[in-house]
Structure 1
């Protein structure tokens, strides 16, 4: 994957735009500006304010540092700063889609995490001699979680499942390495009664 155009395509397929965050920010800004505009129009028409008229709001804002307890002003400032940092973080960092890329030489191969999870679960079921429904695999950006629920009296070696999962993931040639975690859930007495 050497071509810059190919890298752009892969990035577009594995990262998501921050459309939802931008949409929320724009809607909140539009609502705030509409309210301010409505209060200004009501003030110009000599009508009573809905909540707080422009003159009263300006006076409250100017007198805020001295009229309110310092702790309250600082807490409000910190909350506003955190909200601002969250929006800044969302604006700067890219979102990630649930996909991985596979090393395929000069070709771009993007695979959905669900496909990787399904293939790995099928392979592990065949390796361990279990039913496919007894194995659940979740694939994230940096980790793979394997949960094995063997039936009563069926021994399962956690280390063997871990090794099989890691070996199978190596054959997929994912460009970003993932950490594998295996859990063996033993059936409870209640499961036996069902």
Structure 2
């Protein structure tokens, strides 16, 4: 497999398509077109409109700039521009899936954030001697958050835990890279956590 094909596959596996947003916009446009068609058909058949006749709607739309005061025009324009900007950002910005690219030799694999969190929690538990159920790891797009809750009376070196986590995360070679945050939360220290 060539590098460009591999990059394309990794990108497809780590970024979400914008199908949902596109589907919402298309459904809204179809509903608007169906409503306009129904109003036109009712008008041609001489029946009363559902909301407004096409002629009255067109006249109201054409007279809208002169009917609004300048401040109202600015507000309406700003709202339309904001909606357009939101749709543009949704269309252009890449969506993210909860996955990372992990370098594996000369290859790259796509790994789910839950798998990274589970592996890191297991490694920290084995390396520190703290029970696995007392280690909670969360992996986000740019951060790894580790919370260790040792039982009462068990001494814990927060700096050593931090070093274990940072060394293990470094071996994963994740892309995009992540920052690590390690907290030691004791039941008797509520509100006084060691963090970085």
**TM-score, normalising length: structure 1:** 0.88
Q: Relative contact order: is structure 1 or structure 2 higher (C-alpha 8 Å, sep ≥ 6)? A: 1
Aligned residue number for residue 45 of structure 1: 45
Distance 1:23 1:16 in 2: 14
- Could you say if the C-alpha distance between residues 49 and 16 of structure 1 is closer, same or farther in structure 2, counting changes exceeding 3 Å? same
Cα offset for 1:76?
A: 2.7
Distance 1:83 1:156 in 2: 52
Contact 1:100 1:175 in 2 (8 A): yes
Cα offset for 1:165?
A: 0.9
Unaligned runs of 5+ in 2: 191-196
Aligned residue number for residue 139 of structure 1: 139
Distance 2:106 2:160 in 1: 34
Length, aligned pairs only: 190
Aligned residue number for residue 25 of structure 2: 25
Distance 2:104 2:70 in 1: 60
Cα offset for 1:139?
A: 0.9
Distance 1:175 1:66 in 2: 55
Distance 1:189 1:162 in 2: 19
- Could you say if the C-alpha distance between residues 13 and 189 of structure 1 is closer, same or farther in structure 2, counting changes exceeding 3 Å? closer
Root-mean-square deviation (Å): 2.1
**Matched residue of 1:84: which SS?**
helix
- The 5 Å alignment of 1:55-66 reads 55-66=55-66
Cα offset for 1:149?
A: 2.2
1:74 aligns with 2:90: no
- Could you say if the C-alpha distance between residues 157 and 53 of structure 1 is closer, same or farther in structure 2, counting changes exceeding 3 Å? farther
**Matched residue of 2:102: which SS?**
strand
